[in-house]
Amino acid sequence: MLNNRFHLCYRVILTFLFFSIFCYLSHAGSPGRNLLIDDFDYDSEGVSAARANWVEQGQTDEVELGIGNYVGSIQMLANFSTINGGSTKLAYWNRSFESSPLDLSSYTTIELSIYSPDLSPVTKFYIYLRSGSQDWYRFSISPAEVSTSGFGAIVLDMKSAAVEDYGTLGDTPGWKDIQHIRIAATAASDEDTDAIFFLKDLKFKGRQHCVIKHNDDRL
């Protein structure tokens, strides 16, 4: 009995070591797994497809397709000259995932490529992720982080998110039920100059990992 138990433990240990080495070799040097939400290249589908995905809210203008040097991106115009606001003016666009919510619980960073030729009207960019039906994760991007000489990738640590709770505190489903993504730009209440920016490649990145499960009632 003891001899059988020893051999069984020995086999379990060898199996564990084998899969540990396999995971290490498989993922050594790997950049991790990516979830591409949108590459913003709607040239083949047309502007109507871009507008169906990224819906303008409030007094915001509809998205357009990038042209010239910016083909393969979408253009968002923060029309501050025509937006009426209180202490700040807000231009924003939403993409809905209500029919198939995103599970982002295994991802660690957000990456978005942005270019704007003139950021002077903008006080802040934001990415919002709505968890469940009411609560939002908010990520702030300073205009100083955005490239004015071509597309540059903005990388955001998901742990840095601020939480805006509009429901019952603690009821949010967290990262497992993301139903909306919002992209926004704000300006001062007296700003009357529009700001234009172009977007490419919105993605989430996470670390790869192996999960080794062993169930054996004989142990």
Using alpha carbons, select from 91, 92, 173, 159 the residue that is nearest to residue 130.
Answer: 173
Radius of gyration of the chain (CA): 23
**pLDDT level of residue 12 (50, 70, 90 thresholds):** very low
Q: What is the pLDDT of residue 204?
A: 98
Residue 199: per-residue pLDDT: 98
**pLDDT band at 214; cut points 50, 70, 90:** very low
Look at residues 208, 153, 170 and name the one whose alpha carbon lies nearest to residue 24: 208
**113 CB-near residues (< 8 Å, 6+ apart):** 151, 152, 153, 154, 199, 200, 201
How many of the other CB atoms lie within 10 Å of CB of 82?
12
Q: Are strands 135-141 and 162-164 parallel, antiparallel or unpaired?
A: antiparallel
Closest Cα partner for 102 from 80, 130, 74?
130
What backbone torsions phi and psi does residue 16 show, to the nearest 5 degrees?
A: -60, -45
In this predicted structure, what is the pLDDT of residue 9?
Answer: 46
| pTM for the whole structure | 0.78
Q: Give me the phi and psi of 115, to 5 degrees please.
A: -140, 140
Contact 78, 62 (CB under 8 A): no
What is the average per-residue pLDDT within 48-72? 96
Does the structure show a pLDDT above 90 at 23?
Answer: no
* pLDDT at 78 (0 to 100): 96
Token duo for residue 69: 């040097």
As a whole number of angstroms, the distance between CA 90 and CA 188 comes to: 9
- Per residue in 115-135, pLDDT (tens digit) is 999 999 999 999 999 998 878
pLDDT reading at 67 higher than 70: yes
The confidence score (pLDDT) of residue 217 equals 37
Average pLDDT value for residue range 66-73 = 95
Select the more confidently predicted residue: 86 or 144.
144
The per-residue pLDDT for 5 is 53
User: 73 burial class (0-12, 13-18, 19+ CB within 10 angstroms)?
Assistant: buried
Question: Is 64 a residue whose pLDDT tops 90?
Answer: yes
- Least confident window among 109-118, 163-172, 196-205: 163-172
pLDDT of 90-104, one tens digit each? Answer: 999 999 999 999 999
Q: Residue 113 is which amino acid?
A: S
What is the chain's mean pLDDT, rounded? 82
Long-range contacts of 140-149 (CB under 8 A, 24+ apart): 141/114, 143/116, 143/119, 146/114, 146/115, 146/116, 146/119, 146/197, 147/114, 147/115, 147/116, 148/115, 148/116, 148/117, 148/118, 148/119
pLDDT for the residue numbered 10: 47
pLDDT tens-digit profile of 144-166? 999 999 999 999 999 999 987 65
Task: Calculate mean pLDDT across residues 15-28.
Answer: 39
Tell me how far apart the alpha carbons of residues 22 and 9 are, in angstroms, rounded to a whole number.
20
